[in-house]
């Protein structure tokens, strides 16, 4: 029995902080929106400077960030739906 308790304690010690620091899906979407704003500002500056290669790289980064935001938004909706269903199930 001591070995089982020791293994559980070690698991909690290692995995606990990782679970506690995981950002919520809504926070992830907000961070993605902010990143897209920054990328667009950088793209605008590169466009004014006349750096076509950097503008194209920035466009690709914005496209990738939008795809990530879309996935995070979907995950946030699913998490909210699961929370609602769990809450309704308790009643």
The tokens for 27 are 């926070």
Q: Percent of the chain scored above 70 by pLDDT?
A: 75
64 is a domain residue: yes
Residue in this structure with the two tokens 């795809």, named with its chain if needed: 67
Confidence of residue 62 (pLDDT cuts 50, 70, 90): very high
Which residue bears the tokens 């089982």?
4
Residue 57 falls inside a structural domain: yes
How many residues are recorded in the chain? Answer: 91
Q: Which domain holds residue 59?
A: 23-90
Task: Match 């010690």 to its residue by tokens.
Answer: 13
Mean pLDDT value across residues 11-26: 66
What's the predicted TM-score (pTM) here? Answer: 0.65
Residue 45 resides in a domain: yes
How many independent structural domains does the chain possess? 1
| Tokens at 53, concatenated | 């290669």
State the pLDDT confidence band at 33, using cuts at 50, 70 and 90: very high
Q: What is the rounded distance in angstroms from the CA atom of residue 75 to the CA atom of residue 68? A: 11
């Amino acid at each position: 029995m001591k070995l089982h308790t020791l293994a559980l304690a070690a698991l909690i010690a290692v995995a606990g902080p990782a679970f506690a620091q995981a950002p919520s899906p809504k926070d992830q979407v907000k961070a993605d929106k902010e990143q897209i704003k920054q990328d667009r500002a950088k793209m605008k500056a590169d466009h004014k400077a006349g750096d076509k290669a950097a503008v194209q790289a920035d466009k690709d980064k914005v496209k990738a960030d939008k795809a990530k935001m879309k996935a995070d938004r979907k995950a946030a909706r699913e998490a909210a739906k699961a929370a609602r269903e769990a809450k309704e199930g308790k009643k």
